[in-house]
């Protein structure tokens, strides 16, 4: 267990180093501008084929569509890294894809964003509060105990660490390293956990964890996380 947690924090630090503004695209990006990010999020940019993010992700990043993630109050660095991961790098395919390596809808949107756009939008969203009226909640009482146990203690006999070790007791995440999961749609969380487990979403740490978990495990912890505050 200790080795697993140590590895998680080590990898998280590496992710942080690759995602912080200024460490990538240093010559392309100035200080992130939240106002410019809001403009792009709300209105898009038709001249460059950039769609308004609000269409899918809701007012201030508070999505009301279970398949689309809530982005409000996510760490700036995490959001920026995820947007970059949807963009192919030269001859290399995008890091983030859908099931079986199929392009996701973001695969057609993110490439139209400049490095500055990404930083601007990420900063804007990180400053938006999670709307308690639209945030997701846990809905499956029968799995609450199982989800809570995995979140708080993991699954010791399968060397699955507690989710709270990285994402926090309340699911708030860790700025720069791990995303907020509280109030996230359980449908979206479950889909991402399965993509981690299949290897379609590239993340060594999450693959190692989810590969030791059953479908009921994933569903229980996804639902429990949605209800955290």
pLDDT digits (tens, 9 = 90+) for 177-222: 899 999 999 999 999 999 999 999 999 999 999 999 999 999 999 9
112-169 tens-digit pLDDT: 999 999 999 999 999 999 999 999 999 999 999 999 999 999 999 999 999 999 999 9
Taking phi first (over 0 means left), then psi (-120 to 50 degrees means alpha), and beta for anything else, what does residue 51 get? Answer: beta
| Same domain, residue pair 102 and 169 | no
Strand partners, 45: 50
| Same domain, residue pair 71 and 119 | yes
Tokens of 192: 């991402």
| Same domain, residue pair 149 and 76 | no
| Same domain, residue pair 29 and 107 | yes
Strand partners, 24: 21
Q: What is the pLDDT of residue 146?
A: 98
Residue 178, φ and ψ in degrees, nearest 5: -125, 140
| Same domain, residue pair 91 and 155 | no
The structure's pTM equals 0.86
What is the CATH number for 106? 1.10.760.10
| Same domain, residue pair 38 and 118 | yes
The share of the chain scoring above pLDDT 70, in percent, equals 88
| Same domain, residue pair 74 and 32 | yes
- The total number of structural domains in the chain stands at 2
Domain range for 145: 2-11+134-226
DSSP SS3 for 207: helix
Query: What's the mean pLDDT when you consider all of the chain?
Result: 89
Q: Write down which residue in 99, 126, 153 finishes a domain.
A: 126
Instruction: Read off the pLDDT of each residue in 26-43 and give the average, rounded to a whole number.
Output: 90
| Same domain, residue pair 169 and 121 | no
Per-residue pLDDT at 82 exceeds 50: yes
| Same domain, residue pair 7 and 33 | no
Q: Residues 124, 130, 131, 132: what is their CA dihedral angle, to the nearest 10 degrees? A: -170
Instruction: Read off the pLDDT of each residue in 52-72 and give the average, rounded to a whole number.
Output: 98
| Same domain, residue pair 152 and 93 | no
Measured from the Cβ of residue 141, the count of other Cβ atoms closer than 10 Å reads 8
| Same domain, residue pair 170 and 79 | no
Per-residue pLDDT at 20 exceeds 80: no
Cα gap 79→225, rounded to integer Å = 19
Q: What confidence category does residue 25 fall into, taking pLDDT thresholds of 50, 70 and 90?
A: very low
| Same domain, residue pair 203 and 167 | yes
Cβ-contact 179, 69 below 8 angstroms: no
Q: Write down which residue in 96, 126, 156 finishes a domain.
A: 126
Q: Write down which residue in 102, 126, 150 finishes a domain.
A: 126
Cβ-contact 121, 53 below 8 angstroms: yes
Instruction: Read off the pLDDT of each residue in 4-11 and give the average, rounded to a whole number.
Output: 40
């Amino acid at each position: 267990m200790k080795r697993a947690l140590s590895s998680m924090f080590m990898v998280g630090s590496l992710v942080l180093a690759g995602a912080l503004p200024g460490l990538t695209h240093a010559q392309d990006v100035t200080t992130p501008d939240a106002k410019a990010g809001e403009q792009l999020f709300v209105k898009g940019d038709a001249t460059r084929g950039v769609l308004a993010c609000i269409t899918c992700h809701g007012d201030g990043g508070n999505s009301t569509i279970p398949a689309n993630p809530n982005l409000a109050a996510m760490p700036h660095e995490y959001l920026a890294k995820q947007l970059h991961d949807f963009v192919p790098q030269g001859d290399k395919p995008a890091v983030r894809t859908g099931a079986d390596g199929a392009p996701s809808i973001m695969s057609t949107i993110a490439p139209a964003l400049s490095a500055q756009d990404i930083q601007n939008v990420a900063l804007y969203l990180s400053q938006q509060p999670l709307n308690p009226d639209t945030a997701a909640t846990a809905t499956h009482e029968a799995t609450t105990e199982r989800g809570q146990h995995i979140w708080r203690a993991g699954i010791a006999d399968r060397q699955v660490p507690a989710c709270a070790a990285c994402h926090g007791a309340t699911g708030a995440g860790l700025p720069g390293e791990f995303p907020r999961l509280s109030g996230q749609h359980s449908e979206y969380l479950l889909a991402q956990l399965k993509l981690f487990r299949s290897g379609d979403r590239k993340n060594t740490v999450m693959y190692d964890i989810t590969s030791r978990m059953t479908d009921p495990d994933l569903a229980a912890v996804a639902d429990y996380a949605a209800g955290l505050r």
